[in-house]
Amino acid sequence: MSDIAPNDLSSFWLPFTPNSSFQAKPRMITRAKGMYYYSDDGREIIDGSAGLWCCNAGHSHDAIVSAVQNQVAELDFAPSFQFGHPKSFEVASRIAALAPDDLNRVFFCNSGSESVDSAMKIALAYHRYKGEGTRTRFIGREKGYHGVGFGGISVGGMVNNRKFFGPLLAGTDHLPHTYNRDEQAFTKGEPEWGGHLADELENIVALHDASTIAAVIVEPMAGSIGVLPPPKGYLEKLRTICDKHGILLIFDEVICAFGRLGHSFAAERYGVTPDLITFAKGVTSGVVPLGGVIARDHVFDAIDGGPGATQDHEIRLFHGYTYTGHPLASAAALATLNVYRDEGLFERAAELEAPFGDACHGVRERASAVEDIRSLGLAVAFDVAPVPGKPGKRGYDLMEHLFFEEGLMVRVSGDTVCLSPPLIVEESHIEQMTDKIAKAVTHIAG
Ligand code: PLP
């Protein structure tokens, strides 16, 4: 197209969005600062979703902004294949220091989806180098979200993300999801019921045989489907069963890491050390795309370390991205990690968990169409009664109404409304957000 009108909205194909509806009534953001977005018509909108679960330090933080500005003037790009630049090593060390136990090796990519694909490839390479190349199968979980790469949708369990895209990766299986409304409705934190569901892994292992299974991948708290906290004891059991059968355990912490659950990582909150952690989003507070995988020493050593593993010229892991360890992402990550540390934002999230949970659960009394509320850390989901025969319609209407009429950005998944505010959120914001949700649900769903 040669004649591009400045305000033509037809060329950009928005992801996960009904494009014609958007074009008819655009939700256009032009600026952000702290807890707020600002729309093209000058309205202030509370960011209830930290963008897409990523802007944990709040928006356009001065320290992060200037770190990125300075970096682009000093070193715009440097390759990470056979070369390096200091800041990417510094970020890796900082992340390794935050991660529990011997999760010491950090592989960088650019997004959560790439982090999942990278972790899956690392798991396959690990078994092959250990002489167990038959271990190629991955076990994910129903309702899981692991991004949109073919690896991620294959182990993921959100039906719409899978059903359009053919046979996917061969040789995957899925654990049952952990949600049961009859047993768990309106739970704050980790539900008492459901830990036993991890035992299903034994049945899956019995079916396929351990010798065919490379790894189990789960989100410690399933986020995108609408905040499903792990039942008490569940993650511990998965760890035990994986250890018993020589299966790697991958925690997809793309949402959970960097303070969302009041800790650096969910692994720390639960005292369970996986073999690999995937991360993205909060590592740069969303300012520059960055993702990665943290590997335990034994995983790295089997592939690329240990005495005599690497010959002078021999590459052991044939995987990486042009933008692995990008200087701008590295600068943004370093500045972000400093903000988290200096402003005590993970501790702040931990302290706010109880008042946040109380305020969110208070919506139950104020909006009768809310069928369940689940909260963990600074994340909450409100399940709203669907319009019969039109799944997702109520969620969409609520998202639109909250944006235009109430000045609140939320993330919806089907008919579930989620809040996951930046970790700088104050109790007054929490009150405003929950008021707006109660009001909007009553208005839209009666
Ligand atoms: N994994 C999890 C657990 C996520 O929540 C997401 C995104 O929400 C992803 C992977 C994919 O991340 P990205 O959208 O950066 O590819």
Residue 9 lies in a domain: no
327 and 358 together in one domain: no
Q: Shortest CA distance to 155 belongs to which of 110, 222, 211, 100? A: 222
375 and 250 together in one domain: no
Q: What are phi and psi of 59, to 5 degrees?
A: -90, 145
- Residue 147 Cα to ligand 1 midpoint, Å, equals 4
Q: Shortest CA distance to 217 belongs to which of 293, 282, 291? A: 293
* Residue 50, both tokens: 């930290």
The pLDDT, as a whole number, for residue 1 is: 46
Instruction: Please state the atom number of ligand 1 nearest to the C-alpha of residue 278.
Output: 1
The pLDDT, as a whole number, for residue 307 is: 57
302 and 201 together in one domain: yes
* Residue 294, both tokens: 């943290």
Which residue, of 342, 376, 408, is where some domain finishes? 342
Residue 32 lies in a domain: yes
* Residue 434, both tokens: 């929950």
Q: DSSP code of 404?
A: I
CA gyration radius, the chain: 22
Q: Is 116 in the pocket of ligand 1 (CB under 6 A)?
A: yes
Residue 3 lies in a domain: no
Q: How far is it, in rounded angstroms, from Cα 278 to Cα 294?
A: 6
Domain extent for 35: 19-57+344-445
- Residue 214 Cα to ligand 1 midpoint, Å, equals 21
Q: How far is it, in rounded angstroms, from Cα 117 to Cα 424?
A: 31
The pLDDT, as a whole number, for residue 428 is: 98
Instruction: Please state the atom number of ligand 1 nearest to the C-alpha of residue 255.
Output: 5
35 and 71 together in one domain: no
Cβ neighbours of residue 176 closer than 8 Å, sequence gap 6 or more: 141, 142, 197, 200
**Residue 385, amino acid:** A
Could you list the mean pLDDT of each consecutive 10-residue stretch along the chain, which spans 446 residues?
Answer: 65 96 96 97 97 98 98 98 98 98 98 98 97 98 98 98 97 98 98 98 98 98 98 98 98 98 98 99 98 98 74 88 98 98 98 98 98 98 98 98 98 98 98 98 93
64, HSE (Cβ side, Cα atoms, 13 Å):
27
* SS3 call for 415: coil
Q: Is 252 in the pocket of ligand 1 (CB under 6 A)?
A: yes
237 and 384 together in one domain: no
String of DSSP letters for 85-143 = -HHHHHHHHHHHHHSSTTEEEEEEESSHHHHHHHHHHHHHHHHHHTT-TT--EEEEETT
Residue 118 lies in a domain: yes
| Domain count of the fold of the chain | 2
39 and 94 together in one domain: no
The pLDDT, as a whole number, for residue 312 is: 74
203 and 217 together in one domain: yes
291 forms beta bridges with 109
- Of 14, 217, 254, 287, the residue with max ligand 1 atoms within 8 A of its CB, to mutate for a pocket test, comes to 254
Q: Is 147 in the pocket of ligand 1 (CB under 6 A)?
A: yes
284 and 430 together in one domain: no
Q: What are phi and psi of 105, to 5 degrees?
A: -115, 130
Residue 321 lies in a domain: yes
191 and 43 together in one domain: no
Which residue, of 342, 358, 392, is where some domain finishes? 342
- Residue 285 Cα to ligand 1 midpoint, Å, equals 14
The pLDDT, as a whole number, for residue 37 is: 98
* SS3 call for 31: strand
Question: Domain of 119: which CATH number?
Answer: 3.40.640.10
Q: How far is it, in rounded angstroms, from Cα 45 to Cα 58?
A: 13
Residue 71 lies in a domain: yes
Q: How far is it, in rounded angstroms, from Cα 310 to Cα 331?
A: 30
Q: DSSP code of 389?
A: T
Instruction: Please state the atom number of ligand 1 nearest to the C-alpha of residue 53.
Output: 8
Residue 10 lies in a domain: no
> Ligand 1 atom 7: the closest Cα is on which residue?
147
Question: Domain of 394: which CATH number?
Answer: 3.90.1150.10
- Decide: 249 and 209 in contact? Cβ < 8 Å: no
Cα 193 to Cα 221, 229, 246, 256, 389: the distances in Å are: 15, 11, 27, 21, 30
204 and 312 together in one domain: yes
Cβ neighbours of residue 17 closer than 8 Å, sequence gap 6 or more: none
- Residue 46 Cα to ligand 1 midpoint, Å, equals 22
Q: Shortest CA distance to 197 belongs to which of 214, 213, 218, 215? A: 218
Q: How far is it, in rounded angstroms, from Cα 325 to Cα 320?
A: 10
Residue 5 lies in a domain: no
- Decide: 276 and 123 in contact? Cβ < 8 Å: yes
Q: Is 146 in the pocket of ligand 1 (CB under 6 A)?
A: yes
Which residue, of 322, 342, 362, is where some domain finishes? 342
402 and 266 together in one domain: no
354 and 330 together in one domain: no
Q: How far is it, in rounded angstroms, from Cα 222 to Cα 179?
A: 10
Pairing type for strands 213-218 and 248-252 reads parallel
Q: What does the chain come to in residues?
A: 446
Instruction: Please state the atom number of ligand 1 nearest to the C-alpha of residue 223.
Output: 5
- Residue 333 Cα to ligand 1 midpoint, Å, equals 17
- Of 17, 53, 55, 145, the residue with max ligand 1 atoms within 8 A of its CB, to mutate for a pocket test, comes to 145
